[in-house]
Each structure stands twice: as C-alpha cells, then as structure tokens.
C-alpha cells in the first residue's frame, strides 16, 4: 500500500513536471475563496529567496564573480550592524503579510463561526506556530529549543495572536496600540541602563537588548557576523506595529473604497514610514539586531511598497499569468519553510551535480541550487494542482 502511494505521488510529480516542460498551460492563479492573489504572490516571492533564491545567486557568483551578483548577494544577508539590507526586510514582510491576512480571515470566518470559536482557532494556531518554531530550532541546533525567538515562526505566532485580539477593535485603537509599542521601544532604548550599558547606547557590544538577552536567555547575537537576532526578549515585541500596520491595510482592502484609493493608502503608508524612519535614523540608528524604532519603520515602509507593487500589478491591473511560480510557493509557505528541517536534499543532489560539474568545481554550487529549487517547486506545484494546502 505504501509502495502504491509512493508510486502515485512520483507519477503525479512526473506528470506535473512534464506538463510544465512541454508548455502545457498551467492553471492561472485566481482569487480562490476571496484570497488576495497579490498577497500569495508576495508571500511566494519572499519565500523564494529563502528556499533557493539566495543559493542561486551564490552559485552564479561562484561561477563568474561580477559586481552585480556580488552586490545582490550582499543584500541577501543581514546587515552586520547599522544599515539595511533586503534580507533584513524578510521578517518584517512576513509580519506585514500576517497583519493584512488577519481582518480578511476574520471577515470570512465570522460568516460561519462565533467569536469564541474563532478565538479558540487563533489560540490553537498560535500554539502550533510556536511549537513549529521550537521544533525547527531544535532540529537545527541538535538540542531542545523550546524558546527560539530568533526564528521567524515564534515571533509571527505572538504577533498573530496580538493582532487577532485587536481585530474587533476600532482602527484608531489598533493604531494607538502600535504607536504605544513604538513609544515603548524608544523609551526602553533611551532610558534604561545596566552595568556596563549606558542609557541610549546603540553599541554592538553594549546595549540594553543584548544585556537582557544574556540575563534571561543566556544567549544573544554574535557581534561582527550577519546572523539574525539571537532570541531577544525585547525585540520579540518591537515588530508588532508592523503587523498592526498590515491589519489597518487589510481593513482598508475590505472596504468598498476604490482600488485607486486603496493603492494610495498602501503607498502612502509605506512612504510615510520610510520618511519618519530615515528622519529618526541619525538619532536612533537603523539596526536589525536591536529592532530599533527606525528599523521597524523603515523595514515596514519597504515591505509596504513591495506589497503595493504586487497589489497594483496582480489585483488592480490583473497581470496574473506570471504569478504562478510565486503563488505555488506562497500557497504552502509553512510547509516549504519546515521541509528542509526534515528532508535535506543537498547531500543527495550534490552526488549527481558533482559528477555533472566534472572538473569545473565552480559550476557545482549553481547546479546544486537549481536542482534543489526545482525539486522543491515541483513538489509544491503537485500540491497546488491537487489542492493540498498545509495550514496551521
């Protein structure tokens, strides 16, 4: 029975691959169940870089180093300290997308469920996301990691639950809550001091965020590298305003206002966040590892503008044929984010790519990245065609 099932899966994957390679028209992404295709496309675009886009750029750089690929690869890593790279905006982009989806999902569920039922679902989803974050961190570290705040899933879980608890509140209360967290961010960094840490310090080795992490968790970020936050007790709350901003945008998208009006709001919010964030940056530096208030605003601004481009192209202009590769990824983002923790494709793939590359060792990283990405995408495409969507 297991053999039959495996054969069926392999056969469907093969059929999907043949259909794509033969030029068979794939399904055009549509607004199934009222979903925003632009949101799925945006999510898939961000996930693309995580599951293989960065490896592709690294492979191209290894094959033939050049200024363009080197600059792009630098953007696909976190800033060492002050400043902003594209990779620093990955996490805020997810936080924004979570916020946009909350009012959309709430509006849909409220037609068939009571608030207590939706609250139970939200708490369950929070728990699942949090535990998945623990599982992924434990597998990666080879030891139990129940609290792994430096990943993506646990911060998203917390922001999602906070957002759900605010979804029924008037938008001015939601905005006030976001503003209060931003104000708390400024005050904590400016007022609180600790042994060896003066108030208002943004030094890499002497700041209140690092001190609290070491005091409570016994770990923090490593100075001088491009890794992310080291599991920060304070930083886990600071990006929630980005999720609240997404909720405000999602509520606006639900309204009967024109698409032109909705576009102006999304673009205006992004530009306002960028203007305020960069205006603050001479006083409060843009630092991803501390999630400073300027970083929250600037990264939220860029995330808004990216979503604006997808919304304009996909849901306003109706250009959807090109979105399929990203929608396929975005429709099962949780699944493919967890997949590498359970199935490591690189050791197996490298056996064949190494032989194919022959004596040209510079070609192997690119071949490896292409094959791994292709396998993952074909699996996701098979799931998409068969309407298999892994949800929390």
In a domain, 11, yes or no: no
User: Residue 3 falls within a domain, yes or no?
Assistant: no
Q: Which domain holds residue 152?
A: 28-385
User: What's the total number of domains in the chain?
Assistant: 1
**2 within domain boundaries:** no
Residue 161 lies inside a defined structural domain of this protein: yes
> What is the pLDDT, as a whole number, of residue 222?
74
Is 255 domain-assigned? Answer: yes
**Per-residue model confidence (pLDDT) at position 9:** 39
Say how far apart CA 300 and CA 33 lie, in whole Å: 27
Task: Report which of 242, 308, 65 is spatially closest to residue 74, judged by C-alpha positions.
Answer: 65
* pLDDT score of 236: 85
Which of 302, 163, 295 has its CA nearest to residue 240? 163
The DSSP secondary-structure symbol of 238 reads T
In a domain, 21, yes or no: no
- The Cα–Cα gap between 210 and 231 comes to 10
pLDDT at 231: 53
Residue 390 lies in a domain: no
* Residue 179 located in a structural domain: yes
> Hey, how many other C-beta atoms are within 10 angstroms of the C-beta on 25?
7
For the chain, the first-to-last Cα distance in angstroms comes to 28
Tokens of 346: 């690189």
Question: Which of 272, 66, 247 shows the shortest CA–CA distance to 171?
Answer: 247
Q: What is the pTM of this model?
A: 0.87
Q: Which residues of the chain have pLDDT under 70?
A: 1-34, 150, 225-231, 355-361
């Amino acid at each position: 029975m297991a053999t039959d099932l495996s054969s069926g899966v392999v056969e469907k994957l093969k059929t999907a691959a043949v259909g794509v390679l033969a030029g068979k028209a794939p399904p055009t992404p549509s607004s199934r169940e009222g979903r925003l295709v632009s949101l799925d496309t945006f999510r898939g675009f961000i996930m693309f870089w995580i599951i293989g886009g960065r490896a592709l750029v690294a492979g191209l750089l290894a094959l033939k180093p050049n200024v363009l690929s080197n600059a792009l690869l630098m953007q696909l890593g976190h800033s060492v300290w002050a400043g902003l790279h594209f990779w620093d905006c990955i996490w805020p982009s997810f936080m924004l997308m979570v916020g946009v989806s909350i009012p959309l999902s709430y509006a849909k569920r409220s037609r068939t469920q009571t608030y207590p039922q939706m609250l139970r679902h939200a708490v369950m989803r929070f728990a699942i996301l949090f535990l998945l974050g623990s599982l992924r961190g434990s597998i990666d570290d080879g030891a139990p990691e129940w609290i792994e705040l430096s990943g993506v899933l646990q911060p998203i879980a917390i922001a999602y639950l906070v957002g759900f608890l605010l979804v029924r509140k008037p938008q001015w209360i939601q905005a006030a809550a976001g503003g209060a967290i931003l104000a708390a961010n400024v005050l904590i960094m400016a007022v609180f001091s600790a042994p060896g840490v003066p108030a208002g310090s943004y030094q890499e080795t002497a700041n209140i965020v690092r001190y609290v992490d070491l005091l409570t968790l016994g770990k923090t970020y490593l100075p001088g590298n491009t890794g992310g936050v080291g599991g920060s007790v304070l930083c886990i709350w600071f990006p929630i305003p980005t999720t609240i901003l997404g909720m405000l945008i999602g509520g606006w998208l639900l309204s009967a206002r024109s698409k032109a009006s909705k576009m102006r709001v999304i673009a205006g919010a992004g530009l306002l966040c960028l203007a305020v964030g960069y205006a603050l940056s001479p006083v409060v530096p843009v630092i991803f590892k501390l999630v400073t208030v300027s970083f929250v605003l600037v990264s939220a601004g860029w995330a808004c503008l990216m979503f604006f481009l997808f919304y304009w192209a996909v849901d306003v202009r109706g250009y959807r044929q090109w979105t399929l590769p990203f929608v396929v990824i975005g429709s099962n983002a949780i699944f493919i984010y967890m997949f590498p923790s359970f199935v490591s494709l690189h050791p197996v793939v490298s056996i064949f790519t190494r032989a194919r590359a022959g004596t040209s060792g510079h070609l192997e990283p690119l071949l490896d990245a292409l094959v791994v990405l292709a396998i993952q995408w074909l699996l996701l495409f098979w799931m998409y065609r068969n309407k298999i969507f892994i949800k929390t």
